[in-house]
Structure 1
Amino acid sequence: MIHDVQPNATVARLLLGGQLEQLREMRGLTLKQVAGTLYVSVSKLSRIERGRHRAVVEEVARLADFYEARGQDLEQLMEWARTAQGRGDYHSFTDVADAAARDYLDVEAVGLSAVYTPQVFPAVLRTQHYAAVLLGPMNPEEVARRLWLLGLRQRRFFQIRRAPVRVLLSEAALTSRVGGPEVMAEQRQRLLHAPVQVRVLPAHCAARSPAAAGFAVAVLGGGRLTLAARNRDDGRLWLDPDRKGRAAAQFGELWQAAADLRTYC
């Protein structure tokens, strides 16, 4: 089993940024020092390292030379740089997903490792009926578009061989009445038969959890880069490096406090 496959453009951009940051830090250099020497803005260099700016191949070559990357390290950097020039797999969905959301979808497909959703079922496991209820009143064409995207997202997610993804639900999500009894019964059956590991966090544990909005952890490049995805205060989904493994550790603690799904179903 593997966590990811040949990286798409988004994943390559994120891996490239993470590796460039690691090379800089290994040499004890600050962003300001590198930016000043190479005549590039600090903000641009920071965005490159965080995977939020697609650096051109020539820029990557300059950075690699400055960090004295050689051999396989240099080859890998340049391969990622070339791959990152392409488009993400979800570039045609700008009408229903912003740039940050599309980045997450590209990462989810190949690297999702764990996800905690305290209020609802995670998107990759939702039935069409359950998802439609969550969308609420909306233009029928937009509903159809979003449900089509959901189906595509789920197909890509389950087509890739991976280590089993851990899905953590709150008791509230499992016992909610979204769409009524029939919709929830169908949704629980989907969950029971999905090729993922599922546990349920009891209500008293979820109430004490600092992760009120939920989060996801993704592992890319065979462990080279771990990312955490969270919804920020403005409602936007954002990917950030999981520095010091804090998100992964937090998920591990919640996972240990949870019970097997079949205890509830």
Structure 2
Amino acid sequence: MVHINVLDPSASPLDYYGYELRRYREAGGLTQKQLGAIISYTGSLIGQIETARKLPTADFSERADIALGTGGLLSRLLPLVLRSQLPAWFQQVAELEARAIEIYTFHTHLIHGLLQTAPYARAVLGTLDQSNLDDRTAVRLARQRILEKGSAPVLWAIIGEAALYQEIGGAEVMRGQLDRLLSFESNPKVNIQILPYGVGAHAGLQGSFDLFRFTGDPAIVYTEGYGAGHPTANPDTVNDCSLRYDHLQAAALSIQDSAKLIRRAMEERYGEQPGSDPRPVA
């Protein structure tokens, strides 16, 4: 007799997803292999997802929803599943991002996670830990779905000029990452400003921070250390960081001039290298 791993659907969002996937599949009279053939995935992968050993993707969820007639259940569960895979100390921040109507971020040497490309995120996450890198990257990128909602928050991101030149993942990765920043030029809900070297001393010298504003709830400031996050709604801290952000916005380049600087960094730092041969190899 084949042993079937019985999941406790209340154990975690991932377990609940696997339980529902199996329930719908069995109700449809399909084996894992048969469902895999229908949605172009292996039966082995379906088994791993059903037993909470593998994270599902958006593509998998959409295909399984259609094939099993779930009414979109798996796709609706996916954001909860991915959010639950974030480090425990960071899960609250992802919830703040999902609820906020306005997000203000300031980072000196790194592109914020909501704006990262997959290769850039992978390079950041894999610096000291290569384990489960595909899943960890997918989990980080899943946070960006809030920018695609009909009720997407307004995002203001001030990025230190150093982040444009800190070569993370190599020149090709950086070209893609800076191009990603430029892709928001015509999006009024995502506003990117560069804080140039030339401003010298500025209001953010004490470090990076995020500020979240909500409808009907107090604003929250979030700062981060190594392996720990520190959200606070303390009015004094919120007021202090709000004032600092106002000064940072005043010191940063305009949105248009920021885009020009990003383009210049792409061309001068990450363009074709001298002596390189751009011709395709036969």
- The TM tier, using the shorter chain, reads 0.5 to 0.7
* SS of alignment partner, residue 176 of structure 2: helix
Residue identity (%): 20
Q: 2:260 aligns to what?
A: 263
Residues in 2 aligned to 1:235 and 1:207: alpha-carbon distance in whole angstroms: 28
Work out which of the two has the higher radius of gyration on C-alpha atoms and give 1 or 2. Answer: 2
SS where residue 230 of structure 1 aligns? strand
| SS of residue paired to 1:169 | strand
Alignment partner of 1:201 is 2:228: no
Q: Which residue of 2 aligns with 1:249?
A: 243
Which residue pairs with 2:219 in the alignment? 226
Where structure 1 has 5 or more consecutive residues not aligned to the other structure, the ranges are 1-88
Provide structure 2 residue ranges, at least 5 long, that are not aligned to the other structure: 1-78, 264-282
Aligned position for 1:168 = 158
* Greater relative CO, 1 or 2 (CA 8 Å, sep 6+): 1
Give yes or no for contact 1:228–1:247 (8 Å, CA) kept in 2.
yes
Contact 1:118 1:214 in 2 (8 A): yes
Give CA deviations for 1:95-119 in whole Å, capped at 9, x if unaligned. 5411x31011011123142101111
Q: Find the counterpart in structure 2 of residue 70 from structure 1.
A: none
Q: Tell me what 1:154 maps to.
A: 144
Residues 1:109 and 2:98 are matched in the alignment: yes
1:200-246 Cα shifts (integer Å, max 9, x gaps): 00124365444443001101124x311100014x5411110151422
Shift of residue 148 of structure 1?
1.4
Count of paired positions: 173
For residues 1-265 of structure 1, the aligned pairs below 5 Å read 90=80, 96-98=86-88, 100-111=89-100, 112-135=102-125, 136-140=127-131, 142-162=132-152, 164-194=154-184, 195=187, 196-205=190-199, 207-222=201-216, 224-232=217-225, 235-244=227-236, 245-260=239-254, 261-264=258-261, 265=263
Question: Would the aligned equivalents of 2:82 and 2:139 in 1 still touch at CA under 8 Å?
Answer: no
Contact 2:203 2:244 in 1 (8 A): no
Q: Decide which structure has greater helix share.
A: 1
Residue-by-residue CA offset, 1:151-203 (whole Å, 9 max, x unaligned): 21111343252453111000000122111221111101111113311100012
Name the TM-score, length of structure 1 as normaliser. Answer: 0.59
After the TM superposition, which of the residue ranges 157-166 and 127-136 deviates more from structure 2?
157-166
Q: Secondary structure of 1:225's partner?
A: coil
